């Protein structure tokens, strides 16, 4: 634990130092990034040590705060999350040094780095805390630090609004967690995790509180509304951290909560599966309808949290139906997808940041042809897109494979369950639909942004970003491939973490490794064939005429870049097919007259949950509170009277 504390101290020290040295933008950036990387590296080493040895490390300090001691530990489950947090924040920090240089003119970079390091440190504290008070303090610090990062460009109205929505959403979520911990500590009088008791209330109360509280952070539908607002508003390297790792702390919270219960009812698993299918399908559908690159990616986080929830659901069902194979496969898939999503989503957000950096816009229909201008960003974005669509030989396929296999164990006769067909249909059918739609969405994003011709003038003059922004993307893309090709290793690595939730499952990891070996063999054959075919093509063309011409346009002679298919038109058939869920709106200004001058078409897909659930809800709250406005008289005597009355009532209540 010494090393873990050292890392925290490094992060906080670096943050404060960066704040102090903020007079020089360059020094502030350098100090911030170096401390973030150093802290991350230390955590990375220690977490790997915990994962490999399987030995958890803990620390218990007395403090004067009520409800137990300052109790911290890194067990394999925490270590998995700590590895992801450390890795992604390190790379994002390196990226940030260059990104912030041009993207935050006239901003105090010291403040930005201070909150970045505070966010990293608080996330690490969240996964290491073993005391409710410490956990909630870290949780709140995490929310606040990220709030200040989201609102960095606070001169923009949209950013302030996004920050406000984010702040409200986080606190509503935290309110549920506060109640959850109060109930958990009610019987034992302490909030130390090892002495929490679930006897104070029926277990469904805990479950609902945890799903709402942690689910708000994770972005489960319908608690996801803050996500598509806050992620695009933040600077890109912060979006990468928030989307890649911060929302995963919600998943960590749920997993940690599950360890408190001896037996898990099946309906918990079904709830997770339901949440997973709804979040996955709705998330990707909303993503399809978006025109802004970062907003599209934010909705994909909702989709991937859905996939993680599917894995969690399969795991919980496995536990409650007493099939350790199903439980282990589901939870391994869940944890592996946490890692995978952190890798490819932060890669994609960094890619989106580079596009923003180079062109100044994230509007899909203004971009195009960037692969020629930004080859590294384009190629890494392609790897990320294929990975997030769950395609072999990359990492996204491996975790989805494990979740599917877990859901189908019930059908294979190893365990006989009446519920297995429903599970197969929901999980496998859901994942197939999500995968197909995600592929549609990412071919759209990649095709419109990086392929074809530039759709506006600024884009044509874009340049590749600098080294500090390129390398983090290359490393992340490399890791996506690496996990895909070392698939059989991962169930073994994650086994101690899964064992924290499903105790008896020693041989499962080895068993899961066998099909994954098959996957890797298939992937290697695929890559080998690609190499061979590249050679064959080269040999065939070596002595033949290879010409350059314009794209075939059916005899039309003056093609212009604006005639290309747009993102909106690409997604239109799918958006219309699912119009029941998306309710797309068109604002159309039709061409009129014999020689029309102009015509305008805008397509929107507003978030239905925001429109039909939250806006009426908050309007109702405003209406109710406005009815209490007469209490506010503005005269000080009245307020003194209120205080006196309150004390009087409290006295009577106490004397009763």
Partner 1 sequence: MTMLASIVHVMCALLLAPALPGVITRVKAWFAGRRGPPLLQAYYDLWKLLHKGAVYSKTTTWVFVAGPIVGLACAMTALLIVPMGGTAGVLSFSGDFLLLAYLLGLMRFFTILAALDTGSSFEGMGASREAFYSALAEPALLLGLVAMTAQSHSLSISGMVAAVTPVAIASPAGPALLLVAAALLIVFLAENARIPVDDPNTHLELTMIHEVMVLDHSGPDFAMIQYAATLKLWVLGALLVGILVPVRSGWWGVDLGAGIGGMVALAAVVGVIESTIARLRLVRVPQFLVAASVLSILALVLVMR
- Give the per-residue contact string, 155-174, with partner 1 (x = CB under 8 A; - = no): --------------------
Of 257-265, 269-277, 527-535, 594-602: span binding partner 1 (CB under 8 A): 527-535
547, 586, 623, 643: which one contacts partner 1 (CB under 8 A)? 547
Residue number with CB closer to partner 1 (599 or 638):
599
Q: What is the 3-state secondary structure (H, E, C) of 266-332?
A: HHHHHHHHHHHHHHHHHHHHHHHCCCEHHHHHHHHHHHHHHHHHHHHHHHHHHHHCCCHHHHHHHHH
Residue 533 interacting with partner 1 (CB under 8 A) = yes
Q: Rounded to 5 degrees, what angle do the CA atoms 631, 636, 640 make? A: 80
Q: Please, are residues 165 and 229 in contact by the beta-carbon 8 Å criterion?
A: yes
Residue 638 interacting with partner 1 (CB under 8 A) = no
Residue 435 interacting with partner 1 (CB under 8 A) = yes
Q: Where are the alpha helices (DSSP H) in 553-633?
A: 567-577, 579-582, 608-609, 615-626
124, 437, 462, 494: which one contacts partner 1 (CB under 8 A)? 437
Residue 510 interacting with partner 1 (CB under 8 A) = no
Of 31-39, 228-236, 256-264, 531-539: span binding partner 1 (CB under 8 A): 531-539
Of 128-136, 306-314, 513-521, 579-587: span binding partner 1 (CB under 8 A): 513-521
Q: How far is CA 612 from CA 303, 460, 555, 621, in A?
A: 20, 41, 49, 15
Residue 552 interacting with partner 1 (CB under 8 A) = yes
Of 80-88, 189-197, 208-216, 544-552: span binding partner 1 (CB under 8 A): 544-552
Residue 443 interacting with partner 1 (CB under 8 A) = yes
Q: How far apart (Å, rounded) are the C-alpha atoms in residues 406 and 336?
A: 13
Partners of 589 in beta bridges? 600
Of 109-117, 140-148, 437-445, 460-468: span binding partner 1 (CB under 8 A): 437-445
Q: How far apart (Å, rounded) are the C-alpha atoms in residues 36 and 115?
A: 11
Residue number with CB closer to partner 1 (130 or 455):
455
Of 26-34, 460-468, 512-520, 604-612: span binding partner 1 (CB under 8 A): 512-520
Residue 52 beta carbon to partner 1: minimum distance, rounded to whole angstroms = 27
Token pair belonging to 612: 């039909």
Residue 582 interacting with partner 1 (CB under 8 A) = no
Residue 626 beta carbon to partner 1: minimum distance, rounded to whole angstroms = 46
Q: How far apart (Å, rounded) are the C-alpha atoms in residues 301 and 305?
A: 6
Q: How far apart (Å, rounded) are the C-alpha atoms in residues 399 and 405?
A: 10
Q: Whose structure tokens read 């212009």?
A: 560
Q: How many CB atoms lie within 10 A of CB 270?
A: 18
Q: CA 556 from chain center: how many Å? A: 45
20, 61, 199, 529: which one contacts partner 1 (CB under 8 A)? 529
Residue 544 interacting with partner 1 (CB under 8 A) = yes
45, 199, 482, 526: which one contacts partner 1 (CB under 8 A)? 526
Residue 54 interacting with partner 1 (CB under 8 A) = no
- Tally the C-alpha atoms within 13 A of residue 192's C-alpha that lie toward its C-beta: 17
Residue 93 beta carbon to partner 1: minimum distance, rounded to whole angstroms = 31
Residue 405 beta carbon to partner 1: minimum distance, rounded to whole angstroms = 5
Residue 584 interacting with partner 1 (CB under 8 A) = no
Q: How many residues bind partner 1 (CB under 8 A)?
A: 84
Q: How far apart (Å, rounded) are the C-alpha atoms in residues 255 and 249?
A: 10
Q: Looking only at residues 205 through 264 of this chain, which bind partner 1 when binding is defined by CB under 8 A?
A: none
Q: How far apart (Å, rounded) are the C-alpha atoms in residues 440 and 361?
A: 22
Residue 479 beta carbon to partner 1: minimum distance, rounded to whole angstroms = 19
| Torsion-angle region of 107 (φ positive above 0: left; ψ -120 to 50: alpha; else: beta) | beta
Residue 10 beta carbon to partner 1: minimum distance, rounded to whole angstroms = 42
Q: How far apart (Å, rounded) are the C-alpha atoms in residues 585 and 563?
A: 23
What is the helix (H) or strand (E) element at residue 522, kind and residue range? helix 508-541
Q: How far apart (Å, rounded) are the C-alpha atoms in residues 528 and 312?
A: 35
Q: Rounded to 5 degrees, what angle do the CA atoms 638, 642, 648 make? A: 140
62, 549, 631, 655: which one contacts partner 1 (CB under 8 A)? 549
Q: Rounded to 5 degrees, what angle do the CA atoms 648, 651, 656 make? A: 130
Q: Please, are residues 474 and 380 in contact by the beta-carbon 8 Å criterion?
A: yes
66, 189, 522, 591: which one contacts partner 1 (CB under 8 A)? 522
Of 25-33, 212-220, 537-545, 603-611: span binding partner 1 (CB under 8 A): 537-545
Residue 423 beta carbon to partner 1: minimum distance, rounded to whole angstroms = 10
Residue 371 interacting with partner 1 (CB under 8 A) = yes
- Give the per-residue contact string, 396-425, with partner 1 (x = CB under 8 A; - = no): -x--xx--xx--xx-xxx------xx--xx
Residue number with CB closer to partner 1 (12 or 277):
277
382, 460, 468, 481: which one contacts partner 1 (CB under 8 A)? 382
Q: Looking only at residues 256 through 275 of this chain, which bind partner 1 when binding is defined by CB under 8 A?
A: none
Q: How far apart (Å, rounded) are the C-alpha atoms in residues 94 and 85?
A: 14
Residue 557 interacting with partner 1 (CB under 8 A) = no
Q: Looking only at residues 330 through 369 of this chain, which bind partner 1 when binding is defined by CB under 8 A?
A: 368-369
45, 492, 577, 588: which one contacts partner 1 (CB under 8 A)? 577
Angle between helices 489-499 and 508-541 (to 10 degrees): 150
Residue 56 interacting with partner 1 (CB under 8 A) = no
458, 553, 589, 633: which one contacts partner 1 (CB under 8 A)? 553
């Amino acid at each position: 634990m010494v090393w873990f504390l050292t890392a925290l101290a490094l992060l906080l020290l670096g943050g404060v130092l960066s704040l102090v040295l903020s007079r020089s933008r360059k020094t502030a950036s350098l100090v911030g990034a170096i401390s973030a990387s150093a802290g991350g590296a230390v955590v990375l080493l220690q977490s790997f040590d915990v994962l490999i040895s399987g030995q958890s490390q803990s620390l218990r300090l007395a403090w004067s705060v009520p409800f137990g001691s300052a109790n911290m530990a890194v067990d394999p489950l925490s270590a998995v999350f700590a590895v992801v947090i450390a890795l992604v924040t390190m790379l994002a920090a390196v990226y940030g040094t260059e990104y912030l240089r041009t993207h935050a003119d006239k901003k105090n970079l010291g403040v930005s780095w201070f909150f970045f390091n505070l966010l990293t440190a608080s996330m690490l504290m969240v996964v290491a805390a073993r005391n409710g008070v410490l956990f909630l303090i870290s949780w709140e610090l995490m929310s606040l630090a990220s709030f200040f990062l989201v609102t960095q460009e606070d001169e923009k109205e949209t950013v302030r609004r996004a920050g406000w929505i984010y702040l409200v959403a986080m606190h509503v979520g935290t309110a549920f967690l506060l109640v959850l911990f109060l109930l958990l500590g009610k019987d034992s009088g302490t909030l130390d995790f090892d002495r929490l008791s679930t006897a104070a209330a029926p277990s469904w109360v805990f479950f609902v509180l945890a799903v709402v509280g942690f689910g708000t952070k994770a972005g489960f539908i319908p608690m996801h509304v803050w996500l598509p607002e806050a992620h695009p508003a933040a600077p890109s390297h912060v979006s990468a951290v928030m989307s890649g790792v911060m929302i995963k702390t919600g998943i960590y919270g749920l997993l940690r909560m599950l360890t408190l219960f001896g037996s898990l009812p099946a309906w918990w698993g079904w709830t997770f599966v339901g949440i997973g299918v709804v979040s996955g399908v709705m998330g990707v559908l909303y993503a399809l309808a978006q025109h802004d690159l970062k907003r599209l990616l934010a909705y994909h986080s909702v989709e991937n949290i859905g996939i993680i929830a599917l894995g969690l659901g399969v795991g919980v069902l496995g536990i409650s139906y007493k099939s350790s194979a199903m439980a282990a496969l589901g939870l391994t898939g869940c944890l592996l997808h946490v890692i995978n999503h952190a890798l490819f989503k932060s890669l994609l957000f960094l890619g989106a940041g580079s596009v923003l950096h180079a062109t100044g816009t994230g509007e899909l229909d203004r971009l195009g042809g960037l692969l020629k201008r930004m080859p590294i960003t384009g190629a890494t974005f392609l790897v990320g897109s294929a990975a997030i669509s769950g395609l072999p030989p990359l990492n996204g396929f491996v975790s989805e494979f494990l979740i599917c296999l877990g859901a189908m164990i019930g059908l294979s006769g190893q365990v006989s369950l009446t519920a297995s067909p429903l599970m197969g249909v929901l999980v496998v059918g859901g994942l197939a639909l999500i995968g197909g739609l995600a592929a549609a969405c990412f071919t759209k994003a990649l095709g419109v942004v990086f392929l074809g011709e530039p759709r506006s003038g600024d884009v044509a003059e874009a340049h590749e970003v600098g080294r500090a922004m390129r390398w983090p993307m290359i490393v992340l893309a490399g890791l996506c491939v690496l996990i895909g090709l070392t698939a059989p290793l991962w169930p073994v690595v994650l086994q101690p973490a899964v064992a924290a939730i499903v105790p008896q499952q020693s041989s499962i990891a080895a068993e899961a490794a066998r099909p994954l070996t098959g996957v890797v063999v298939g992937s290697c054959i695929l890559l080998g064939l690609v190499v061979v075919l590249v050679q064959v093509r080269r040999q065939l063309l070596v002595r033949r005429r290879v010409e350059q011409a314009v794209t075939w346009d059916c005899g039309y002679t003056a093609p212009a870049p604006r005639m290309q298919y747009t993102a909106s038109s690409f997604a239109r058939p799918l958006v219309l097919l699912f119009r029941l869920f998306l309710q797309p709106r068109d604002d159309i200004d039709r061409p009129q007259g014999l020689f029309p001058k102009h015509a305008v078409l805008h397509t929107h897909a507003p978030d239905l949950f925001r429109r039909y659930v939250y806006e009426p809800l908050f309007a109702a709250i405003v209406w109710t509170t406005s009815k209490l406005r007469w209490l506010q008289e503005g005269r000080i005597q009245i307020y003194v009277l209120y205080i006196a009355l309150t004390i009087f009532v409290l006295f009577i209540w106490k004397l009763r």
